[in-house]
Structure formats: C-alpha cells, structure tokens
C-alpha cells in the first residue's frame, strides 16, 4: 500500500520523513489486521492489472477503475469481492492524498449496474444452533483435541464471537464471577480503537460452556497466554494461538463426524447460530444485540437464519 511519506518526495528531511512514515502506520492501523491484509492483497491485484493494461495505478483514471470492475464482473467474481477490491483501491488513494475512485459518480454508476446484473444476495452458511452444536459435541472424545474443540465451539457460540475474537482470547481476558465468566475483548471489528468490550458467558445448564472451557484449560495446563492453541500429532499443546481459519476447520470436522454436510458450515456459523437460536426462542432482539454488540438491529437481522415461516406474525390466527 502507498505511504504518506511518498507524498513529500525525496526533498523531505530525514526527521520529517520518519514522522510521515509513522503517520502512515497510524493511518493504516485504523483498520483491523485482517482488513489490512486483505487490502494489501487487493491493492497488489489492481496494481498488477493496471500494469498489464498500461494504466497508472496511483492515481488511477476513472476509466481504468471502471474497466477493472467490469472485467471482474465478466469473470464471474461476486459483488462482495468486487466491492472489497474497489474499497482497497480507494483506501490506497486516500492514504496517498488522492480522491477516492469509489466516490466518483462514473464508478458508482458502474458498481450499481454490476449489482443489478449479478445480484447482491450473499451465500449464507447454516447456523450452528444449539441442537446442531449438541450433535457435534456428542462426537467429541475426552482427548486434548476433543476438549479444546468442545470449549472452542461452546465459547464461540455462547459469546456470539467472531472468529478473530475467539482465537484472540488470552487467559488474562477471562474474568470470573458467580454467574459465569466475563470475556474482555481489547479489539474487535466494531471496536477498532481498543476501548474494550465485555462479553458475559453464563455457566449454563445444558451446554455448560464455562465448564467446557475450564476442562480444556486444566487438561492443557494453560495458565497464561493464548486460550486456544494448536496440538501436534504427538498430543503436545503449542504456545501459539490458533488462526481464525482454524475455527471453520474445527466446525467442519465435527459437522462431518455428526453426519452433517460440512460445506454448509463456516466460522460464522457459531455467531449466526447464537442469534438464530436466541431469536427463535423469543429473546428480545435488544438483549441479543447486547451479546453480539450490534449497534443496529438491521445488522443483527442479517445473522438470523430462521425461515420465513418461523415466528410468522400470522401463524396463530391464519
């Protein structure tokens, strides 16, 4: 990605250049690590495309960006992928002090046409609701892997955590009280500035997520550092944390063991499962949003995987 320091050219004094470089770092830090990684890859994709087509990448002509979007649409890429790559190109322009292509009306018009042509309905994965989760848990042995995966799925579900939040947990983030545990998230998708968010996880009487977590920590002798860690083929627990992609692999593994189609599930299935389960049993959406930390109920609704007939307003009188 371009740096702010480049805007000053070679004439900038060394001290000034250092300050500008740090300013660029702070500007980039405004995005989550996963977002920055995606933006870097997407920017590189556009830069190479522009080079291959004899176009300038920074700043890029509106005609070049429009052609880039059209080519991706013709290749069958999803609207979300096209939109993300445009966001990366615009982010690069913003950091370099140029106008953002995504704000230009010609680019907006092209993107609207692509959305109308390709459609914007996302391919949503199945929610891992309580019953589905119980079927997976029933297949897990009392081994280190089984104990870790049981705790991983239950804490992810009961806290409605995103994958990055789940694998990012440290022992120091776990607070204890009579009603259960409180997870403190230093950073999250909706808290990029690190104000901190507290997630309450009750002991529970059926799935018992806190007991599952304690069983894993005790068996693995983990007293500090990352909560969820890799285990090698010799049964040795590592010192590093699992990656966010590991969450999806764990869910798919136990979905397969439970006789379910693993392709229907992903890392987001835990968070979507909590929302779907809670709304399905009549929990107030505001109480659900308090756990998921959604600021808008419209966003929360996107995680609700109930069918159009579940909770239908007229089912009791039609």
Phi first, then psi: give them for residue 258, nearest 5 degrees. Answer: -85, 5
Question: Catalytic: 189?
Answer: yes
> Which position among 125, 229, 252, 268 bears the catalytic label?
268
Which DSSP string do the residues of 199-232 spell out, in sequence order? EEEE--SSS-HHHHHHHHHHHTT--SSBSS--B-
Out of 229, 271, 293, 305, pick the active-site residue: 271
CA 248 to CA 269: how far, in whole Å? 9
Catalytic residue of the set 189, 195, 295, 312: 189
* Three-class DSSP category at 96: coil
Read off the tokens for 292. 């998921």
DSSP letter assigned to residue 197: E
Tell me if 192 sits within 8 A of 36, measured CB to CB: no
Please indicate whether residue 233 is annotated as part of the active site: no
If residue 182 lies in a helix (H) or strand (E), which one and from where to where? strand 180-185
- Catalytic residue status for 303: yes
- Catalytic member of 68, 93, 163, 303: 303
* Catalytic, out of 148, 162, 163, 229: 162
Give the integer Cα–Cα distance in Å for 262 and 249.
9
To the query of whether residue 162 is one of the catalytic residues in this protein, the response is yes
Catalytic residues: 162, 189, 268, 271, 294, 303
């Amino acid at each position: 990605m371009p740096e702010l320091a480049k805007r000053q050219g070679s004439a900038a004094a060394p001290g000034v250049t250092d300050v500008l470089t740090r300013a660029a770092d702070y500007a980039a830090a405004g995005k989550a690590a996963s977002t920055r990684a995606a933006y870097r890859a997407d920017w590189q994709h556009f830069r190479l495309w522009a080079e291959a087509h004899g176009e300038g990448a920074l700043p890029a002509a509106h005609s070049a960006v429009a052609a880039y979007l059209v080519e991706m649409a013709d290749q069958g890429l999803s609207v979300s992928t096209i939109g993300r790559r445009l966001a990366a190109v615009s982010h690069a322009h913003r950091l370099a002090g140029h106008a953002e292509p995504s704000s230009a009306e010609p680019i907006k018009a092209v993107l609207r046409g692509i959305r109308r042509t390709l459609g914007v309905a996302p391919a949503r994965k199945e929610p891992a609701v309580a019953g589905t989760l119980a079927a997976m848990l029933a297949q897990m042995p009392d081994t280190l892997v089984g104990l870790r995966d049981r705790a991983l799925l239950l804490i992810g579900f009961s806290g409605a955590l995103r994958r990055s939040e789940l694998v990012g947990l440290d022992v120091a983030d776990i607070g204890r009280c009579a009603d259960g545990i409180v997870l403190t998230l230093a950073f999250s998708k909706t808290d990029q500035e690190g104000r901190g968010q507290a997630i309450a996880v009750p002991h529970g009487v059926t799935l018992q997520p806190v007991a599952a977590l304690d069983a894993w920590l005790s068996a693995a002798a983990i007293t500090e550092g990352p909560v969820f860690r890799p285990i090698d083929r010799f049964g040795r627990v590592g010192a590093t944390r699992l990656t966010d992609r590991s969450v999806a692999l764990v869910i798919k593994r136990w979905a397969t063991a439970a006789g379910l189609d693993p392709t229907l599930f992903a890392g987001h299935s835990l968070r979507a499962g909590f929302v779907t389960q809670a709304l399905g049993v009549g929990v107030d959406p505001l109480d659900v949003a308090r756990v998921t930390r959604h600021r808008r109920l419209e966003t929360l609704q996107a995680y609700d995987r109930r069918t159009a007939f579940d909770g239908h307003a007229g089912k009791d009188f039609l």
